[in-house]
Homo-oligomer: A and B are copies of this chain.
Amino acid sequence: MNRVINHPDLVVEDMLKGIVAAHPELQATPDNPRVIKRSCAPVAGKVGIVTGGGSGHEPAFLGYVGENLVDAVAVGEIFSSPTAKSFFDAMKAADGGQGVACLYGNYAGDNMNVKMAIKMAERAGMTVRTVVANDDVPSAPKGDEAKRRGVAGEILMWKTAGACAALGGSLDEVIAVAQKTIDRTRSIGIGLSSCVIPAAGKANFHIEDGKMEVGIGHHGEPGTNVADTVSAEQMAKIMVGTVLPDLPFGRGDRVAVLISGLGATPLMEQYILYSGVEKALSEAGVTVAVPLVGNFFTSLEMMGVTLSVLQLDEELEKLITHPCASIGFNRK
């Protein structure tokens, strides 16, 4: 695998050097280079928004630090949780005196480290509350939602909660918006090829030519089944057919749709999939009010796509269409 790196063990350090060099609106915190914050954070009087996760998903997570979005992010090694210390330092960097909402994904490492970080934050006199994203339908059966992973639906949660905080929402209000967003979001991924972690040097799983892994996770976690590849329109039907009944979404719903490439899938194909998704939703009586298509949440150079659908209400539609600016998400 030919890569643009200096040393496999230094990819995160070297990426962060590039990020802060290219983006004066972002900074590493002085005492912890694994925390990236808005240069203006903490914003006094505003609820702080924090997230964090493994690297290799760019623009997630650090690409959502920005205006009306996330204030500070804890940065982990590739596909690995940030440390408790980094989560804690991110909380400090985001704390403008009105409390901090830590909005992250449901993975064992992140759960453990956020829990420890909150203890550190409490000892420091801070108020931190959390919402744990679990939008990935195929990762556990209905009724067992607490076991589901968080995937690209996290972005929708950061978006609405970030807007709520920017508009002066209290910690209670921000947490309620984040929880409502993730409660009303359902996601699914389809993997078409593997990826190689630089330090490992080879893929830790394999998808054959002509096969697709339905329900794959962002780190190559196995899906519900391996099937023969189908057309984009059929993929759209499978994906929409998985997420709609799970909530369930219903006729007359207005939704936000987020399609993300997993890394190597061309933008062309993401739009081909969107066309099929919109058709399948329309046939189910569901209207796409907010379409989002692009590399929002990737897995290095994996091929494949994810679909996240958020059931909007008046409040969420207002928040999701609020202006924002960051590496990964811009809206006028």
- Residues in chain A within 8 A of chain B (CB atoms): 1-7, 11-12, 14-15, 17-19, 21-23, 55-56, 58-59, 63, 192-193, 207, 209-212, 229, 231-233, 235, 263-276, 278, 288, 291, 293-295, 298, 300-301, 303, 305, 325, 327, 330, 332
Contact = CB atoms under 8 A, between A and B. Distances in A.
Given A192-B3, A212-B2, A295 B267 contact: yes
B22 A271 contact: yes
Nearest to A17: B275
Contacts of A63: 267
Contacts of A303: 2, 301
Given A2-B192, A4-B272, A22-B291, 20 more contacts: A2-B303, A3-B192, A3-B265, A4-B269, A4-B273, A5-B232, A11-B272, A14-B232, A14-B271, A15-B269, A17-B272, A18-B293, A21-B278, A58-B271, A63-B267, A263-B266, A265-B301, A266-B301, A325-B330, A325-B332
Contacts of A272: 4-6, 11, 14-15, 17-18
A192 B3 CA distance: 7
24 contacts: A2-B211, A2-B229, A3-B269, A4-B192, A4-B232, A4-B235, A5-B269, A5-B272, A6-B231, A6-B233, A6-B276, A14-B275, A18-B270, A21-B291, A58-B266, A58-B267, A63-B267, A264-B264, A266-B300, A266-B301, A267-B298, A294-B327, A325-B330, A325-B332
A63 B276 CA distance: 20
Given A18-B272, A274-B22, A278-B21, A298 B3 contact: no
A326 to B, nearest CB: 10
A119 to B, nearest CB: 31
Nearest to A298: B266
A56 B265 CA distance: 11
A4 B332 contact: no
Contacts of A17: 271-272, 275
A233 B3 CA distance: 12
Given A2-B207, A209-B2, A211-B2, A19 B271 contact: yes
A112 B162 CA distance: 50
A17 to B, nearest CB: 4
B209 A1 contact: yes
A4 B305 contact: yes
A3 B210 CA distance: 9
Name, among A7, A14, A210, the residue most crowded by chain B CB atoms within 10 Å (CB to CB): A14
Contacts of A233: 6
A300 B270 CA distance: 12
Contacts of A288: 21
A5 B231 contact: yes
Nearest to A236: B4
A321 to B, nearest CB: 13
A56 to B, nearest CB: 7
A274 B18 contact: yes
